[in-house]
Amino acid sequence: MDVLDKFLHSIAYKFPKGYPDMDDEQDKIILENELEQVMGLNENFNPLTFYDLKKRGGFRFGILSDKIEQGTPFNLIKGNSTPLEFESPEYEDAFKSQDASKIKNLIKGNINMFPFFKDDTETKYSISDILKDATFGGKGKGSSTSIEDYNLKLLNDLIVKLIDENNGNPINIIVNGKTYNNLIGATTQKGTPKSDFNIINQNNTPIIFISHKKSGGKGPSANDFIRWSGYTKYASHPEVEVFNEAIKKWLIEHNLEGLPRNTRFISSIKDKNLIQHLIYGINYGGEYSADNVNTILQGKITLTPSSKETYELGAEHVLNPPSIPEGNYAPYLTAAYRSDRKMFGIENNEAIAMTKKIAYSSSNVYELKGDKFIKIK
């Protein structure tokens, strides 16, 4: 297998047919972006290094171990994400010790290229296969919005291409059964509201607001992204109050001042309205906006012809209001250890609404049953 074959094989999962169809405009856009990354023209991504992990006392070895322990997906240098596990118990013990010398003594050769990790298909990964995102101190390059920026570019390039094919006329796009007219491109959403990027009209006014979620290399799943939303803005909601009070009671019973490491507290959400606000935005129920999105798209975005100059917006997985995520996508209230967080007055508490799949993925899980937590794994 020559270099080109290896490259095409490594990105095959990004294409519906398993290879780039050069008669498909979106496939060509994806291939162009992948080539830019390989050739160094796209500088959004930086690989993680052993030095990044060991500096400042090696505390990031602990962060990496916690992510593996909790089943949290890693952002990878190729642009996808997946949970990882240690290749052997010996490697796990060394990383958890946060002792750089102990880790180095395990191997010979380039430590950044050594396969310490594997995924659930037994594919092996090295430290340098992992993206240095904000979790590992990354700034600018390799930021947590890289995947969204990548898909924004794909969407904007596709809209521009369709406009060119329509003799320069703006196009119309259907979302959730409604047609939006005279659209000319896509632009990023400033700040950190629910929307990641928006489709704009001829006046450069955002018309369609999109929340975008990553998709892994084996097709979209609830395992591909960590969060639906934070929920600190819903502190007075009865379900949130019961959840937090139960955590405080558990800490008292166990004589702890804050959440312990490698432990996750979870609870299903019963209130449909709370779920809709968490996933679509705090202004759900009003006019569509950056905090009340038109749609949630996961993975590769598509524009399928419907009629002249009109296309239907889609993706590998689509969720439109007022629909509620089901199965492994169902949102769960979760609370887990993070040393720099103190949410709801609870030390070391990072409070996130996660997918059910991720919520249950930790090796040490307590689920709320009534008004108390029961250890389920």
Q: Are 369 and 268 in contact (CB under 8 A)?
A: no
Q: Tens digit of pLDDT for each residue in 39-70?
A: 443 345 578 899 889 877 788 898 899 889 88
Residue 319 or 79, more confident:
319
pLDDT at 16: 57
- Decide: 279 and 331 in contact? Cβ < 8 Å: yes
Cβ atoms of 200 and 187 within 8 Å: the answer is yes
Task: Tell me: pLDDT of 38 over 60.
Answer: no
Query: Mean pLDDT throughout 83-107?
Result: 92
Mean residue pLDDT across the chain: 87
CB 149 within 8 A of CB 140: no
Question: Tell me, what's the pLDDT at 361?
Answer: 87
Distance, in Å, from the CA atom of 364 to the CA atom of 297, rounded to the nearest integer, reads 31
Q: What percent of the chain has pLDDT over 70?
A: 85
- 177-188 pLDDT tens trace: 999 999 999 998
- Between 74 and 134, the higher pLDDT residue: 74
Distances (CA, A) of 171 to 157, 160, 217: 13, 9, 31
Quick: pLDDT tens for 11-37: 665 565 667 877 765 566 667 666 655
pLDDT band at 2 (very low <50, low <70, confident <90, very high): low
Tell me the mean pLDDT in the region 138-167: 74
The DSSP code sequence of 152-217 is HHHHHHHHHHHHHHTTT--EEEEETTEEEEEEEEEEEPPSSSS-SEEEEETTS-EEEEEEEE--BT
Amino acid letter for position 285: G
